[in-house]
Amino acid sequence: MFDFFKKKDNQNKETQQNEEKPKSFWHFSFDGLKKTISNTTQNLVENVVSSVEEEEEFDDFILDDMEDLLIKADLGVNLASSITDKLRKQTKVKPSQIKMFLKDEFSEILKSAGSSALNINENGLSIFFITGVNGAGKTTLIAKLANNFRLSGKKVLLAAGDTFRAAAEEQLDIWAQRAQVDIYRKDGIDSAAVVFDAIKKAQNENYDILLIDTAGRLHNKKNLMEELNKVKSVIDKLAPGCLTESMLVLDANTGQNGLSQAKLFSECVNLTSVALTKLDGSAKGGIIIAIAKEFNLPVKLIGVGEKIDDLKLFNPDDFINALFEKK
Ligand SMILES: Nc1nc2c(ncn2[C@@H]2O[C@H](COP(=O)(O)OP(=O)(O)O)[C@@H](O)[C@H]2O)c(=O)[nH]1
Ligand SMILES: [Mg+2]
C-alpha cells in the first residue's frame, strides 16, 4: 500500500517536472527571457550572422566588419577581436557555421566564469555586500532581493549603508516597507558604523540575510576604496564567513562604461558576482559575456523593470539558448 502511494507520488513529481513550471516568479520563463533580450539577440547574433553566413570564406574584410558589429553589440574590444582573430587563424569553420561557432564561444565563456547560483549559508547569517555607481540600481535591487528572500521564508534585514547620498536612507526605508522586511538605519554616522550596528542586530536577532546598501559616488577612487574597505573589514571582523556575495550592480545600458566600472570596483572590492539591471528594453546585454570574459565574474541576477518583482535569476544556459534560438 505504501509502495502504491510512493509510486503515485513519483508520478506526480514527474508530471510536475515535465511541465517545467518556473519554481517562483524570480525564475525567468524562457519566453520571458527571450522577449527581454530580443534587442540584444538582434544586435549580438542576428546582425552578425546575417552579415557573414552567406560568404564563401572568411577574409580580412569580412572579419573586420564582423569585429565592428561585435563591438557595437557591447562585447568589448578585447573580446570582439579575440573572436575574429580565432576565425582568422583557422580554416575549419566556414561562414555558414558562424552561428554555431558564436554559440560555442559565448557558452564556453559563461561556463568558465563560474556558477550563477547565489551563495548563501544554509545555516546562519548570509551577508550580501552590494556596490556600484550612483543610479546603477543598487537600492532597487536590494528591495527586490529582500522581497524574494522573504517570500522564500528567510528573515531579512537591510543596512542603510549609503550615508553619502541625500535621503538614501529614506529611500531604502520606503522600499523595506514595500518588501515587508526590517531595516537598520542611523542617519548622520558613517557607513562602517551603520554596518557594524546592523551586523550586531542581525546576529542578536537571528536574521538569515543581511543586505548592505552602499554609496556609489565618493569623489574619487581613493575615497571609494577607503570607504568600501572599511565596511568590508567590519564585516570580516564581526561576522567571519558570513559574507557570501560581494555583488557589483551594473546598468546594462551603460554598455562599455560598465566594463570600466567593473574594473574600478574589482580593484576596490573582492567581487564574487554581478547583477545587471535595466535589461528591459536594452540592446546591450552582450555586456554579460564581456564581463564574464574580462573579469571572470558570473552574472547572477538581472533587473527587468522598476517594480518589486522585476528581478530574475540569471541562467547561462537559458540565456545562450534564448540568444541563438531560431526566430
Ligand atoms: N527599467 C528599469 N529601471 C530600473 C531597474 N533597476 C533600477 N531601476 C531604476 O533606476 C533608478 C536608480 O535606481 P536606484 O536603485 O536608486 O540606484 P542606486 O543609486 O544604485 O541605488 C531608479 O529610478 C530605479 O527605478 C531595472 O531593472 N529596470
Ligand atoms: Mg541607492
Spatial contact of 24 and 151, defined as CB atoms under 8 Å apart: yes
On whether residue 235 sits in a domain, the answer given is yes
How far apart are alpha carbons 142 and 138 in whole angstroms? 6
* Ligand 1, atom 17: closest residue by C-alpha: 137
Q: What is the pLDDT of residue 218?
A: 64
How far apart are alpha carbons 181 and 118 in whole angstroms? 20
Q: Nine-digit cell at 138? A: 543598487
Same domain flag for 296 and 163: yes
Same domain flag for 58 and 194: no
Q: Is the CB of 261 under 6 A from ligand 1?
A: no
Q: Is the CB of 144 under 6 A from ligand 1?
A: no
Ligand nearest to the CA of 160: 2
Same domain flag for 47 and 138: no
Same domain flag for 296 and 154: yes
Ligand 1 atom having least distance to the Cα of 311 = 27
Q: Is the CB of 298 under 6 A from ligand 1?
A: no
Full residue range of the structural domain in which residue 218 is found: 126-324
Same domain flag for 200 and 87: no
Mean pLDDT by 10 residues, the chain (327 residues): 41 44 73 93 95 95 96 92 96 96 97 95 96 95 96 96 87 96 92 97 98 84 88 96 97 90 90 96 91 95 95 95 85
How far apart are alpha carbons 300 and 120 in whole angstroms? 13
Same domain flag for 78 and 216: no
Same domain flag for 77 and 183: no
On whether residue 10 sits in a domain, the answer given is no
User: Angle at the Cα of 70 (from 64 to 72), degrees rounded to 5?
Assistant: 105
Half-sphere exposure of 155 (CA within 13 A, CB side): 11
Q: Is the CB of 136 under 6 A from ligand 1?
A: yes
Q: Is the CB of 253 under 6 A from ligand 1?
A: no
Place of cell 528594453: 281
Q: Is the CB of 278 under 6 A from ligand 1?
A: yes
On whether residue 55 sits in a domain, the answer given is yes
* Ligand 1, atom 19: closest residue by C-alpha: 135
Q: Is the CB of 216 under 6 A from ligand 1?
A: yes
How far apart are alpha carbons 159 and 72 in whole angstroms? 38
Boundary-marking domain end, from 77, 112, 147 = 112
Same domain flag for 87 and 58: yes
How far apart are alpha carbons 218 and 297 in whole angstroms? 24
Q: Is the CB of 305 under 6 A from ligand 1?
A: yes
On whether residue 248 sits in a domain, the answer given is yes
Same domain flag for 104 and 153: no
Q: Which of 306, 311, 313 for a ligand 1 pocket mutation test, highest count of atoms within 8 Å of Cβ?
A: 306
How far apart are alpha carbons 20 and 31 in whole angstroms? 12
Q: Is the CB of 307 under 6 A from ligand 1?
A: no
Spatial contact of 295 and 266, defined as CB atoms under 8 Å apart: yes
How far apart are alpha carbons 44 and 40 in whole angstroms? 6
Ligand nearest to the CA of 134: 1
Q: Is the CB of 301 under 6 A from ligand 1?
A: no
Q: Where are the beta strands (DSSP E) in the chain?
A: 126-131, 156-159, 182-184, 209-212, 243-251, 273-277, 299-303, 311-313
Domain count across the chain: 2
- The order of strands in the sheet holding 126-131 is 182-184, 156-159, 209-212, 126-131, 243-251, 273-277, 299-303, 311-313
**The domain that contains 84 carries what CATH number?**
1.20.120.140
Q: What is the pLDDT of residue 268?
A: 86
Q: Which of 33, 36, 140, 253 for a ligand 1 pocket mutation test, highest count of atoms within 8 Å of Cβ?
A: 140
How far, in Å, is the centroid of ligand 2 from the Cα of 161?
9
